[in-house]
A = this chain, B = another copy of it.
Amino acid sequence: MILFRKSYIRGIYIYKAVYNSTRVMSQRVEHDYNYSNSKFYTNKVVAKVLIGSVATGAIGYYLFAKRNKYSVAAEASLSEDESISAGKFKDGLPSFSLKEVGHHNSKDSNIWVTYKEGVYDITDFVDKHPGGDQILIAAGSSVEPFWLLYGVHENKHVYKILETYRIGNLQKDEIGALSDDMSDPYGKEPIRHPILQPASIKPFNAECPPSLLIENFITPNEIFYVRNHLPVPVIDPATYELEVEIEGQNRTATFTLNELKKLPKCTIVATIMCAGNRRGDMTKVKAVKGLNWGPGAVGTATWTGVRLSDILRTVGVNEDDGYKHVQFEGIDYDVTGKSYGASIPIWKALDKRGDALLAYEMNGVPIPRDHGFPIRVIVPGVVGARNVKWLGRIIVSEKESESHWQQNDYKGFSPSTDWDTVDFTKSPAIQELPVISAICQPNEGDKVKVVDGCILVRGYAWSGGGQKIVRVDVTVDAGKTWHVANLDNQDTAEPPQHWAWTLWSVRIPVDESAKNLEIWAKAVDSSYNTQPESFENIWNLRGCS
């Protein structure tokens, strides 16, 4: 599988790469290595990969190139081309419901997909698909989300091929089905990419499958994990205003989106992670309260916006004023009218080196609704929960946010603290997150190919507080031999401003006669902190990292 490693010099000839890979793979011997592990709490992975690892390698790479160079141009040419009629309603064809389409999701029942208003039976096309079997991800549903990801489809040639497989129209009342249910607080949710694996639907929380996650150093917006505590608000950027209040002063400053965009612009690369990332593994020790995340509740993006320190200085807040916290309130409300809230220590907000941003762009485009449109606070190195989305109000205060999420959630406790004995006032609100790593390839239970006596292990590692990953050690013999992984992708920023994760890989010699393999990985950060060995001794009732 080493041939599938991301290679920047190959350009966008991704399908060629896939073919090459497939040929080489057919010569390989497959062994029954069942992947599992019990140590180093970062290593357990519960998510199942949705697509084969071959396809993943290719898709991931393409996605990376696409998001960064080609997406705008491709979309522009598409909308300007009037000759394209793919997906438009066609008279004289039968109508099908989404449910009916859904039944046709395997070769046995034929492979149906939808595109806009069109329904297609692509069974005969599957074997001809240049991207191989990954076309089956869309079986029984729409190809649109995948085409958004794999932009090579956005050309006339593809649309023409597609229309040759046309069998009908999508039932009229199901076009755009997911939006505009005003009776449901979740009736205005954005449409999400189906590859996101939900941990909950309302509110929407979902993660990217791990093997796809590590294909991109910069996580595409479409597959960036979503952690919402409340319904996604609908915000009109034209009327949006950010309020900034300084406690004890009788004035509130406001900024429109345009005013914010006129202030000096700053871009950083930062990983955001949920405190509950990999909670699913902790749950195996003993049940915890919280979403059952795999290792995909993490992502890395470029964030562009205005420095929080600039805003605070603009409104007259200085280091020596004695304020201790900066509180954030979202525009997402619960049924009682309370908004999501959190706070950070004022030093992190005021310190230019802290790099806290009021971001309006994520990976070069306006922040998507699920990620905080139009403004999200980015507090790099700090738990996702303080990176408040849909920011409506900033309060400079002597106190932390009084919100549930600051006071009675996102805190760590001793493994022996239970819901009868827990006292949330005794534990500090999580800010910086500790060092973590995860094995994303193989997945737990995968059969793993042995090439030249070695298996390929890949994953990510990250540490909060601006620390850089300096080493990842991997073992397949319970620590008798540790292999130092290659740090394949790493930002050049130095601590204490190193905000992004590190992608790593290592080829490890294995005993080919073995039937099962347990892989451990541990990361070391620039403060030489490393990971504890097991979840047992860091278990906590909220399942925080």
Contact = CB atoms under 8 A, between A and B. Distances in A.
A470 interface: yes
A434 B528 contact: yes
A536 interface: yes
Interface residues of A, number: 47
Contacts of A434: 527-530
A545 interface: yes
Contact of A484 (B414, B496, B531, B534): B414
Interface in A177-229: none
Interface stretch (A6-14, A25-33, A424-432): A424-432
A394 to B, nearest CB: 21
A165 interface: no
B417 A484 contact: yes
B532 A531 contact: yes
Interface in A402-438: 412-417, 427-428, 430-435
Interface string A78-121: 00000000000000000000000000000000000000000000
Contacts of A465: 465, 496, 527
Contact of A496 (B347, B414, B482): B347
Nearest to A528: B434
A505 to B, nearest CB: 16
Contact of A412 (B417, B431, B471, B533): B471
A484 B414 CA distance: 7
Interface string A505-529: 0000000000000000010101111
Contacts of A545: 528
Interface string A474-509: 000001011110000000001110000000000000
Nearest to A413: B471
Contacts of A414: 471, 473, 482-484
A413 B522 CA distance: 13
A450 interface: no
Contacts of A529: 434-435, 527, 529
Q: Which of A416, A434, A496, A529 has the most CB of B within 10 A?
A: A529
A347 B483 CA distance: 33
A204 to B, nearest CB: 26
A131 interface: no
A464 interface: yes
Contacts of A351: 353
A538 interface: yes
B416 A526 contact: no
A494 B531 CA distance: 24
Nearest to A434: B529
A537 interface: yes
A524 B534 CA distance: 15
A445 interface: no
A531 to B, nearest CB: 7
Nearest to A472: B414
A544 interface: yes
A145 interface: no
A70 to B, nearest CB: 35
Contacts of A524: 412
Nearest to A471: B414
B532 A533 contact: yes
Given A464-B527, A527-B465, A529-B434, A479 B536 contact: yes
Contacts of A432: 526-528
Contacts of A471: 412-414, 427
Contacts of A531: 532
Contacts of A536: 479
A269 to B, nearest CB: 18
A468 to B, nearest CB: 8
Interface in A453-474: 464-465, 470-471, 473
B533 A533 contact: yes
B494 A345 contact: yes
A481 B470 CA distance: 34
Nearest to A412: B528
A322 to B, nearest CB: 13
Nearest to A522: B537
Contacts of A533: 532-534, 537
A104 B417 CA distance: 55
A538 B524 CA distance: 10
A412 B529 CA distance: 11
Interface of A: 345, 347, 351, 353, 412-417, 427-428, 430-435, 464-465, 470-471, 473, 479, 481-484, 494-496, 522, 524, 526-534, 536-538, 544-545
A-B pairs with lowest CB-CB distance, top 7: A432-B527, A434-B529, A416-B482, A529-B529, A533-B533, A434-B528, A414-B482
13 contacts: A347-B353, A412-B470, A413-B471, A414-B484, A416-B482, A416-B484, A431-B527, A434-B529, A465-B527, A479-B537, A528-B545, A530-B532, A530-B538
Given A415-B473, A415-B479, A434-B528, 4 more contacts: A347-B353, A482-B537, A522-B532, A530-B538
